[in-house]
């Protein structure tokens, strides 16, 4: 079965590596910035559980197209073919999961308004193939036509359905797939003593608790209201004996001989939603120094920041034991940011 999934722009190397771990029989057909096309025997239920993706689709048709073509071109190709939407897709519909649908088009990662006449025709064809009805406002499932700048066109049925993040996430809270990817970058292990010292609303420790075993997960912040939310969030996934949620100032945390921290994954303040206590470059100098002090030899630090110039300046005074291994330039809600991964020697 063929699928395609979208992911955060800038992460294609790590996605290419992780998808092979998550789907043992996967064959990657193509991977571009922000999207991967692949073949696997995994069921849609399995694909839905993969959190590194934004959205996933069952592939119904694939087209090689001139780079200037819009989704209307794909709609015409589909209407002109004798193919229906496929037996596997119909199987999903027969399970009773979907009773209504709508058609969505995307051109170069932007929503596209399909020609009204073409839209009506393609809706009629899908209705004939599936026996489900059109609901353009609140459908059970969506059929997408996507055109890419690489000259690839895709037609697929969306098999994931997320609530709008602006309705479920707090202001400044990381999206789950971003927090999940950051945790994977730390090479999760059952021996991990994991710390998020700026845990905010708990996205990072929550995602870490769901992807692999661990010895201890520690989440701290200075905002007690947020920590109440974190405590509630972690109760559903973390053994209470393995979780510590505390109101601590990161820069005052002392090294524990009994519990050596080997992973730090965090989202330090960007200075947008919270004021920094010191000048930005100074903050990152102190932050990197403290991480190096707390981490064991071989420990890993992963963090995200939009303050790329300030971090770059702070790197000139990098503690000698801390080594920058990788960085990823990404977009977070349309804002440029960078994810850094360090090891502590």
**What are the 10-residue block averages of pLDDT along the chain, 345 residues in total?**
95 94 94 96 94 95 94 95 71 78 96 97 93 94 96 95 74 91 97 96 94 94 94 82 92 84 94 66 95 97 95 94 95 88 97
pLDDT given for residue 274 in this prediction: 58
3-class SS string, the chain: CEEEEECCCCCHHHHHHHHHHHCCCCEEEEEECCEEEEECCCCHHHHHCCCCCCEEEEEEEEEECCCCCCHHHHHHHHHHCCCCCCHHHHHHHHCCCCCEEEEEEEECCEEECCCHHHHHHHHHHHHHHHCCEECCCCCCEEEEEEECCCCEEEEEEECCCCCCHHHHCCCCCCCHHHHHHHHHHCCCCCCCEEEECCCCCCHHHHHHHHHCCCCEEEEEECCHHHHHHHHHHHHCCCCHHHEEEEECCHHHCCCCCCCCEEEEEECCCCCCCCCCCCCHHHHHHHHHHHHHHHEEEEEEEEEEECCHHHHHHHHHHCCCCEEEEEEEEEEECCEEEEEEEEEEC
CB 160 within 8 A of CB 56: yes
CB 217 within 8 A of CB 194: yes
pLDDT given for residue 170 in this prediction: 80
Whole-number Å distance between alpha carbons of 344 and 322:
5
CB 261 within 8 A of CB 297: no
pLDDT given for residue 88 in this prediction: 60
- CATH architecture assigned to 2-162: 2-Layer Sandwich (3.30)
pLDDT given for residue 51 in this prediction: 93
pLDDT given for residue 171 in this prediction: 80
Strands 295-305 and 27-32: unpaired
pLDDT given for residue 35 in this prediction: 97
**CB-neighbour burial class of residue 301 (10 A; exposed 0-12, middle 13-18, buried 19+):** buried
Both tokens of 151, joined, read: 């000259």
Both tokens of 135, joined, read: 């609901």
pLDDT given for residue 334 in this prediction: 79
pLDDT given for residue 196 in this prediction: 98
pLDDT given for residue 74 in this prediction: 96
pLDDT given for residue 163 in this prediction: 66
As annotated, the residues of the chain forming the CATH 3.30.2130.30 domain(s) are 2-162
As annotated, the residues of the chain forming the CATH 3.40.50.150 domain(s) are 169-344
73, 193, 203, 249, 259 from 242: Cα distances, Å? 54, 9, 17, 21, 12
pLDDT given for residue 240 in this prediction: 74
Whole-number Å distance between alpha carbons of 123 and 153:
19
In CATH terms, the superfamily for domain 169-344 is Vaccinia Virus protein VP39 (3.40.50.150)
CB 263 within 8 A of CB 226: no
pLDDT given for residue 53 in this prediction: 96
């Amino acid at each position: 079965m063929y699928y395609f999934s979208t992911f955060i722009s800038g992460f294609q190397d790590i996605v290419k590596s992780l998808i092979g771990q998550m789907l043992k029989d996967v064959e990657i057909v193509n991977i571009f910035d922000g999207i991967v096309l692949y073949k696997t025997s995994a069921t849609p239920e399995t694909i839905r559980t993969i959190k590194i993706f934004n959205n996933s689709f069952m592939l119904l048709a694939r087209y090689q197209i001139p780079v200037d073509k819009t989704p209307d071109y794909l709609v015409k190709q589909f209407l002109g073919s004798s193919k229906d939407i496929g037996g596997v897709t119909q199987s999903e519909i027969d399970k009773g999961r979907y009773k209504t649908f709508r058609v969505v088009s995307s051109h170069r990662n932007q929503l596209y308004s399909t020609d009204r006449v073409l839209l009506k025709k393609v809706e009629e064809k899908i209705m004939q193939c599936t026996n489900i009805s059109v609901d353009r406002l609140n459908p059970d499932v969506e059929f997408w036509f996507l055109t890419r700048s690489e000259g690839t066109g895709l037609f697929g049925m969306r098999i994931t359905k997320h609530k709008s993040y602006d309705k479920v996430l707090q202001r400044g809270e990381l999206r789950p797939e971003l927090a999940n990817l950051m945790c994977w970058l730390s090479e999760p292990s059952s021996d991990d003593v994991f710390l998020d010292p700026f845990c905010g609303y708990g996205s990072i420790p929550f995602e870490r608790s769901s992807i692999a075993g661990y010895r201890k997960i520690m989440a701290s912040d200075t905002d007690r209201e947020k920590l109440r939310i974190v405590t509630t969030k972690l109760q559903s996934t973390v053994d209470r004996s393995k979780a510590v949620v505390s109101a601590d100032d990161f820069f005052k945390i002392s090294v524990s001989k009994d519990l050596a921290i080997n992973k730090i994954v965090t989202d330090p303040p960007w200075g947008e939603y919270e004021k920094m206590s010191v000048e930005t470059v100074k903050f990152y100098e102190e932050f990197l120094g403290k991480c190096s002090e707390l981490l064991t030899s071989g420990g890993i630090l992963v963090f995200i920041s939009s303050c790329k110039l300030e971090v770059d300046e702070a790197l000139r005074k990098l503690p000698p034991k801390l080594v920058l291994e990788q960085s990823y330039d990404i977009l977070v809600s349309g804002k440029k940011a960078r994810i850094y991964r360090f090891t502590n020697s």
